[in-house]
Structure 1
Amino acid sequence: MVNEESKLEPTAHLSHDGICPNPNSDIYGKNCSSSYFWNEEGHILSNGLRNIDWKIQILYMDNATQITAIKKCHDLFNTPRDGSSVSFPFCAASFGAFNTGAGSTEICYRRSKPWARMFDLNIDNKDDLCSPLVGVNVMLYLPPKVYNETDVTHSTRYLVLSSRVDSFGLIPEISPGEISVITSVIGLLAAARAIGEQFESFERAAHTSNRHVIIAFFDGESFDYIGSSDVAYDLVKGEFPRILKSRLKAQLDPIAPSQLDGIIELQQLGTGDGKKLNALADGGQVDELQEMISSLSHGAAVAGGTIVHPTNTSRMPPSSWYSFSRISSSIRGIVLAPFREKYEYRRINSILDRAQWNVSQRSTAVSEVIVAASAILRVAADYVRLDAAQKQALKIDSEFVHSLIECFIDSADWFSCEFFNRINSGRFKPSSAFYSGKSTYVSAGYRNPLRFFVEWLATYAIGSVSYTSNVKDKKTCDDLGKDQNVYVYTWQADPRTGEYHCYRTPLDIHQVNSPAFRIDGAFL
């Protein structure tokens, strides 16, 4: 598959998702009716392209040198000349390919059949190639609530600010997700960075009000909300954030579903006019959401933006809120996005999901990301009851936003940008054995580089070095994290200066898969 992306029409239907994303997990019913055609403007096929049996092997090539060599070989030996037919020898290529991203259980099962594995000479031939999709949620607790067995249980309130970190395409691992995922991740990281700059004030307010904020980067959401449903399942079981262990000297306080006041999710930033964002919510919750929507409006206004309010007949688009609504109807939800009734962007979950902005469009997109970040920043500040003077000190770092857009979107890959190279410092290297370009796909392994960059950037955004200023090496830094799960201690370079610090961050990394794999008797 070779495609000249620059020649694609912006209005072309190029989403590889179906007309109703995640239809089996829709809280409004599993019937994909016209009322729920969120992806009507972008879908190619009603059920999407992900599960189709094409009957042929499809390869995606983006290496210009290799493509040129194949074209030259084909034109030299396989193209008729002067009206004559072609004959032996022909130009041919032999290849071996192994893909850990089957896209669905059906496809994986089909690939596991003996006839489909006849030529699997170049891989480890196991009896079972079908492993559960494994994601990695990155969670920030602002601030963390430390467990104390003498405290009143489940008294603290929580607000979740979120974005997803995964998408897919026809060839699953080729999923750049620049609009489906990346712009929203940037907005959420920018809000985290602003809180991190004033974290001591934010922490005091949260402890005084007993209201805390969780920033969540959910993985696997494009596959029936793997990341958020895993969290919801743990909440119900009393195992979130972690199971209490007597051997730990300090650990995070357990959270129950009744403690969650709501979840606000960013979606598809960079596709609107740069100023106006829609607060999308379920009509039955609109009256209860007025305080949060007012905070969003005030925050957006600081950055020159506006928020369009939902109505009593509104429906929530496909979102992580679905997972939490199932376990408790009291958990409120808002999606903050440029679209309103339907998706306007036409490359959601696609191998072609690249921003491709011109100069003017890029400027508009940056403004939109900053408006969204400013809006959720104000919600967080109001939620923990930060006083007026301290709210004024909270500012979105536009330079940070520009740096993330340059590295995540403008760069050809995530390994050729100096800002990312400093923060990476060789910890994650591109693999010659697997596709290591821009990919947001949640697979059966850990090769997706996005989750590592999100973890490191979250560490930089929120992590404190004031408690570890005397630490001068990695081993000492690592040792500080023993016997507790409240903070992660990370020896990492400042991406702006390159200087190393030991960051203390209220961060947790959760390996997640569908709760179906943990429920006894579940039909898989």
Structure 2
Amino acid sequence: MAVPRSVLPLLFLCFPLCWAQFRSVHDMIYVNITAQAPCVRLMNATHQIGCTSAVSGNVGVLHYCAEQSDVDWLIQSAKNKPYMPLMVPRLFTYENVQGLRASGKISGILVAYGNRSDPQPPQAGFSPVHKCPNDGYGMYSDHPEYAHCKNTTWNPLGSGLSYLDYDFPMSLLVNQSDIDYLIDCHNRFNKYDNDSNQAYPLCAVQIKDRMDGAKDSITCIRRSNLNINLNPFVYCDALGDKNVWGTLRPLNKSTPLNDSKELIVASAKIDTWSLFHNVGGVGANDATGFIALLAAAEALGKLDQVEKNAMKDLMFVFFQGETFDYIGSSRMVYDMRRGEFPAKLNDKVPWQPSLVNTTNIQYFLEVSQVGLWEQSGGLWAHSDPVSQKTSAVRDNVNAIFSAIENATDSTNISIGKPPSFQALPPASLQRFLREDLGVPGIVLSDHMAAYSNNYFMSRLDLPAEIGMDIPANLKPDEAYDYTTKQGESLTKVATVIARTLYQLASNKSPSEAAKITASSSTINHLLYCFLQHANCPLFAEVLSSKSVAALKSLPGPLPRYVSVPQNAANQISQVVANLLTFYLGERLPNLNTPTECKTPRYDHINSYIFMNGRPVVNTTDNTTSYASFCMRAPVQFSTAVSPAFLSNEMLHSNEYSTWTESRWTVLNAKIFLVSSEAEQTITLSVGVVVILVSLVLVYFVNTKSDVLFTAPEAEY
């Protein structure tokens, strides 16, 4: 029978109402977890690490672990498996995770991290990476004495937790409201004692973050390259981004470096990593290296142009991806040795930087972790014992050390040398020496042997651990200008770096170098912006107005995870590039708009960046405008993607980093109440019985419809 036309509008009206009713029922059952940082799957040439959920998600009964006894109860006594433990940070240790994993009672793990200012880190320390970071990809991979950190265990607290493969999801909860709701739900429904288990209904959690990549990078890339349909699917992407480099004065191919050893390289790494994806504000001590180097660049950038022109070429390099087997430095060395750094020479481009090779480097100074030098008794100058068997290299290494020693005289910093037989710590310099043992270099750090940082490469390497003692009651503008203990300490380090580089580049005496001083306010502003809040006046001044608007949505600092390559550099690299341009460059007063402030096609030496500038308040109408300006500086990006991905042969060579990140399509977590298995079985059984009875009833009604629904005959 056809549906009457008058009914169709009612059906169309009913559909959205029914859908709304369905959504309201859904919202009554589920509560979404609004903010989480997942553990994602990464792969290299041999294996996979990280986490993934089932396709339909993982469900578990919520169990709040505030004390070690809560973890022990779950492992030993809990019966309503699977569970989804919510752990406070100090309980999220290698031993507990492995114990929970081995119990077979969990379907995932949540870690409470809402209040970042008080994360309760384990007092004994916590480092989820290896004891020997980047093992196998430095200069000692095959050395009989130094391979695999035989000589020195650099990260003795390293558990390797981040490098394990988990078949269940783990998430870091970064919203305190979510954490409070979960704890309240647990306390209302999931309370237990040591003698009995919880009674149903129970509060449960579902996490869905299925990772598409699997096995290893080689397999994942091969699967991605299979064109078996019109819409090829990519399962993983190579890790990588952009290195940032700049020179005190422009390099020009009109005056090539050739084989002259008169280039000084000062480097630091930008990136860090934690088990949980893109968590900002971690790696505080790791950040002190590049922050100190930026401040040193500013101090040297203030020299007049005449003095700069009289100095040797000085290059500042900020590497990306070093955490993952030296991605940035290995690519730079690869390009240098092939005559392609910064870029292949092109006769059609009049202004182009001269080629740079490892053979041009006279001195190499790398700034590593330097934030805890006061606790460790001073700074330490690490050098390589293998390359120093050559007298020319040894003499230049000694020259760097003498310059550092002279620079520390008036700063109250002691400088020490580790034993001559000790190998270099994990550092970008190792990739240069792996290719060319003629590069004389020193790695400056706050540790003689094992790291002073007890939270290396973890989410607990926080500003408070390095003396960022900003009072909680200060307003944002007051906190921005506040001088912290770390600010005072790091200003001295930046001054030492700047004076060292000045002596090496100018051959001036230590007394003449004493005029170079790093700015205390610059250091404090950099620390605040990189480790506390990216939405700060310094970043707002040097970025474009569009980038500044994007920063306003960030609740804290910028993440420093290298991520995967995009068309443009990621946020942290762009900020570092703009800051280096701001410190080394010159203002162009005649270029007053973004359209005018563009890098000319003929100029491949400089970058032109239109910066937002400082706010200017008009007292007449109380409006705010910005004193924008155009900066030009010899600062550029270079590719920071491993050479392994340039050819299939190099991908299989084990010479370069092969790290990739799995893609994923869905990421969500929900809270709901779950009934017992018996109750669920009864509900299902009743439903099946009702369906069967309904089918029988419908069949009976259908077969007897001529009797049941026969209309009475009309009477005439």
Shorter-chain TM-score above 0.5: yes
CA distance in 2 between counterparts of 1:423 and 1:321 reads 30
CA distance in 2 between counterparts of 1:496 and 1:335 reads 40
Q: Is the 8 A contact 1:141 1:507 kept in 2?
A: yes
Q: Is 1:352 aligned to residue 460 of structure 2? A: yes
1:452-463 correspondence to structure 2 within 5 Å: 452-463=574-585
Note closer, same or farther for the CA distance 1:435–1:399 as it changes in structure 2 (3 Å cut). closer
CA distance in 1 between counterparts of 2:353 and 2:215 reads 35
Deviation at 1:431, TM superposition (A): 8.9
Superposed CA deviations along residues 468-506 of structure 1, whole A, max 9, x for unmatched, are 22211111111x432221000111134698522110111
Corresponding residue number in structure 1 for 2:350? 249
Runs of 5+ consecutive residues of structure 1 not aligned to the other structure: 115-124
- Equivalent of 2:608 in 455, 477, 489: 489
CA distance in 1 between counterparts of 2:564 and 2:218 reads 11
Corresponding residue number in structure 2 for 1:235? 336
Amino acid of the residue matched to residue 200 of structure 2? S
Corresponding residue number in structure 2 for 1:505? 633
Corresponding residue number in structure 2 for 1:449? 571
Runs of 5+ consecutive residues of structure 2 not aligned to the other structure: 1-110, 225-230, 389-393, 471-482, 617-625, 653-716
Between the two proteins, the alignment pairs up a number of residues equal to 496
Q: Is the 8 A contact 2:190 2:198 kept in 1?
A: no
Superposed CA deviations along residues 443-482 of structure 1, whole A, max 9, x for unmatched, are 11458532122112112111111xx22211111111x432
Corresponding residue number in structure 2 for 1:299? 407
Q: Is the 8 A contact 2:529 2:557 kept in 1?
A: no
When structure 1 is superposed on structure 2, of 272-281 and 430-439 the one drifting more is 430-439
- Equivalent of 1:515 in 626, 629, 643: 643
Corresponding residue number in structure 2 for 1:203? 308
Amino acid of the residue matched to residue 564 of structure 2? A
Amino acid of the residue matched to residue 492 of structure 2? V
Larger Rg: 2
Q: Is the 8 A contact 2:368 2:444 kept in 1?
A: yes
CA distance in 2 between counterparts of 1:86 and 1:398 reads 60
1:54-93 correspondence to structure 2 within 5 Å: 54-79=166-191, 85-88=198-201, 90-93=202-205
Note closer, same or farther for the CA distance 1:34–1:65 as it changes in structure 2 (3 Å cut). same
Superposed CA deviations along residues 305-325 of structure 1, whole A, max 9, x for unmatched, are 221134432321110011110
Amino acid of the residue matched to residue 106 of structure 1? D
Note closer, same or farther for the CA distance 1:126–1:67 as it changes in structure 2 (3 Å cut). farther
CA distance in 2 between counterparts of 1:522 and 1:510 reads 20
Corresponding residue number in structure 2 for 1:119? none
Superposed CA deviations along residues 260-308 of structure 1, whole A, max 9, x for unmatched, are 1232111112112177211111235354312111111222223332211
Corresponding residue number in structure 2 for 1:161? 266
For residue 596 of structure 2, give the secondary structure of its aligned residue in structure 1: helix
Corresponding residue number in structure 2 for 1:25? 137
Q: Is the 8 A contact 1:195 1:202 kept in 2?
A: no
Q: Is 1:439 aligned to residue 552 of structure 2? A: no
Corresponding residue number in structure 2 for 1:322? 430
Note closer, same or farther for the CA distance 1:75–1:346 as it changes in structure 2 (3 Å cut). same
Note closer, same or farther for the CA distance 1:212–1:99 as it changes in structure 2 (3 Å cut). farther
Corresponding residue number in structure 2 for 1:121? none
Q: Is the 8 A contact 2:220 2:236 kept in 1?
A: no
Note closer, same or farther for the CA distance 1:80–1:380 as it changes in structure 2 (3 Å cut). closer
Note closer, same or farther for the CA distance 1:201–1:368 as it changes in structure 2 (3 Å cut). farther
Q: Is the 8 A contact 2:407 2:496 kept in 1?
A: yes
When structure 1 is superposed on structure 2, of 302-311 and 500-509 the one drifting more is 302-311
Deviation at 1:75, TM superposition (A): 3.3
CA distance in 1 between counterparts of 2:295 and 2:282 reads 18
Q: Is the 8 A contact 2:539 2:548 kept in 1?
A: no
CA distance in 1 between counterparts of 2:647 and 2:249 reads 32
Q: Which has the higher contact order (CA 8 A, sep 6+)?
A: 1
Q: Is the 8 A contact 2:611 2:628 kept in 1?
A: yes
CA distance in 2 between counterparts of 1:419 and 1:129 reads 39
Note closer, same or farther for the CA distance 1:199–1:126 as it changes in structure 2 (3 Å cut). farther
1:100-499 correspondence to structure 2 within 5 Å: 106=216, 127-148=233-254, 153-155=258-260, 157-174=262-279, 176-206=281-311, 211-273=312-374, 276-284=378-386, 285=388, 286-357=394-465, 363-385=484-506, 387=508, 391-409=513-531, 411=532, 413-415=533-535, 417-424=536-543, 425-427=545-547, 438-446=558-566, 448-465=570-587, 468-478=588-598, 480-494=599-613, 499=627
Superposed CA deviations along residues 129-160 of structure 1, whole A, max 9, x for unmatched, are 221111210001121221128x6734362111
Deviation at 1:76, TM superposition (A): 3.4
Note closer, same or farther for the CA distance 1:456–1:523 as it changes in structure 2 (3 Å cut). closer
Give the root-mean-square deviation of aligned CA atoms.
3.4
CA distance in 2 between counterparts of 1:111 and 1:96 reads 24
Deviation at 1:96, TM superposition (A): 4.5
Q: Is the 8 A contact 1:278 1:308 kept in 2?
A: yes
Note closer, same or farther for the CA distance 1:156–1:253 as it changes in structure 2 (3 Å cut). farther
For residue 36 of structure 1, give the secondary structure of its aligned residue in structure 2: coil
Amino acid of the residue matched to residue 496 of structure 2? A
Q: Is the 8 A contact 1:252 1:485 kept in 2?
A: yes
CA distance in 2 between counterparts of 1:463 and 1:421 reads 18
TM-score (norm 2): 0.63
When structure 1 is superposed on structure 2, of 189-198 and 418-427 the one drifting more is 418-427
- Equivalent of 1:2 in 112, 121, 128: 112
CA distance in 1 between counterparts of 2:610 and 2:272 reads 30
Deviation at 1:93, TM superposition (A): 4.7
Report percent identity of matched pairs: 23
CA distance in 2 between counterparts of 1:349 and 1:310 reads 23
Deviation at 1:372, TM superposition (A): 2.3
Q: Is the 8 A contact 1:109 1:130 kept in 2?
A: no
Corresponding residue number in structure 1 for 2:693? none
CA distance in 1 between counterparts of 2:351 and 2:271 reads 32
Deviation at 1:348, TM superposition (A): 1.2
Deviation at 1:175, TM superposition (A): 5.9
Amino acid of the residue matched to residue 282 of structure 1? D
Deviation at 1:109, TM superposition (A): 6.3
TM-score (norm 1): 0.85
Amino acid of the residue matched to residue 127 of structure 1? F
Amino acid of the residue matched to residue 383 of structure 2? A
